[in-house]
Amino acid sequence: MTRRTRVLGVGSFVPDRIVTNDDLTQWMDTSDEWIRTRSGIEQRHWVEPDDTTTSDLGLEAANRALDAAGLSIDDIDMLIVATLSPDHEFPGTACFLQAKLGCPGIPAIDVRQQCSGFVYGMAQADMFVRGAMADTVLLVGAEIHSKAMDISTEGRDISVLFGDGAGAAVLQAVDVDDPSTQAHIYSSHLHADGNYAKELWIEGPSSTYSPNRWDNDFLERGAQWPKMNGKTVFKHAVTRMPEVALEALEANDFAVADVDLWIFHQANMRINYFAAKKLGIDDDDKVFNTIQRFGNTTAATIPIGLDEALKAGRLEPGMLVCIAAFGSGFTWASSLLRW
């Protein structure tokens, strides 16, 4: 018997407010047709313009994952939160979420790997469990993008793509005799290349500036908004995502055709189309996409995808599931799971 980690339950949450592509035209020069054809997105959910925080969304998703796992917060001995839109610069969002969940004392860890954050978090949870530092880990990916984007025409290349939302998974230690049938994580594979850090980033506030973390024309310059070189990101995503997915399969002696369900990061439907083509996935139904309804929720796309696939009856016990992500950093990562 080998000590491994399995996903015991997942949950997700998006705010009620739906923003359609047509809705966006009131703020910027764009169109439903451009957004659909370039990205596949039809709508996204944004929080109301109130005091809702990222950890509030994370709390809802976490509670749903706990319910799905049949556990209470008292059963959790580690909390990991992946986000690029933290409640505050510090302390980490995991600390804010921990206070809301009511689990003081356990480790609370922030993961800052953007779109790959949830997969990085899954790898960390798996290693903490395998190393017996934790038995049951609550892993959350949560984002509020709508409060941190330039929704004028100048920022439209980014602001039409991103949505708010959260997803969570409860991961627990399991003794595995038969990996071909028992639910567990086979392995995770993590990569980054910081040479591309400024291809998708937010310039400030930053320690670059002196004596403060902002300078005089900070807001005028729009240094607080995310900036992206979309074509470069696209080009790397369609290479790195299939590459890292294949790495997970090869590490465990599986072929592409063995995978029952692919959950890719949701940045662009065209990226996922090219990734599937490169991998030679023969059946479109094996790729589960949610970008049409939620846009890109960065660290939350993978757990939202898992939860939505479950709700849609597309994810069943015993399935071989490959998850893969690519994003800002650049970072890219994959995990292979027996569900």
Residue 309: its H or E element: helix 301-311
Q: Which ranges of 167-288 would DSSP assign to H, the alpha helix?
A: 218-221, 230-251, 269-279
Judge whether 265 counts as a catalytic residue: yes
- Least distance from ligand UT7 to the Cβ atom of residue 41, Å: 9
Nearer CB in complex with ligand UT7: 172/297: 297
CA–CA distance, 253 with 186 (Å, rounded to integer):
11
Judge whether 296 counts as a catalytic residue: yes
Task: Tell which one of 96, 128, 186, 234 touches ligand UT7 (CB under 6 A).
Answer: 234
Given a contact cutoff of 8 angstroms between Cβ atoms, the answer to whether 327 and 84 are in contact is no
Task: Tell which one of 172, 296, 331, 335 touches ligand UT7 (CB under 6 A).
Answer: 296
The token duo for 319 is 């399935």
Check 21, 268, 289, 296 and give the catalytic one: 296
> Which residue type, as a one-letter code, is found at position 194?
G
CA–CA distance, 8 with 133 (Å, rounded to integer):
18
Residues 192-231 that bind ligand UT7 (CB under 6 A): 200, 230-231
Residues 24-63 that bind ligand UT7 (CB under 6 A): 30, 34, 38-39
Applying CB under 6 A, does 300 fall inside the site for ligand UT7?
no
Strands 320-327 and 331-338: antiparallel
Q: Which residue sits closest to ligand UT7, CB atoms considered?
A: 230
- Least distance from ligand UT7 to the Cβ atom of residue 191, Å: 15
Q: Which residue, among 303, 244, 301, has the nearest Cα to 278 in the 3D structure?
A: 244
> Which residue type, as a one-letter code, is found at position 76?
I
Nearer CB in complex with ligand UT7: 111/173: 111
The token duo for 77 is 């001995």
Nearer CB in complex with ligand UT7: 38/314: 38
The crossing angle, in degrees rounded to 10, of helices 54-69 and 301-311 is 40
Applying CB under 6 A, does 324 fall inside the site for ligand UT7?
no
Report the catalytic residues: 115, 265, 296
Residue ranges that bind ligand UT7, judged by CB under 6 A: 30, 34, 38-39, 115, 156-157, 160, 200, 230-231, 233-234, 237, 267-268, 271, 296, 298, 327-328
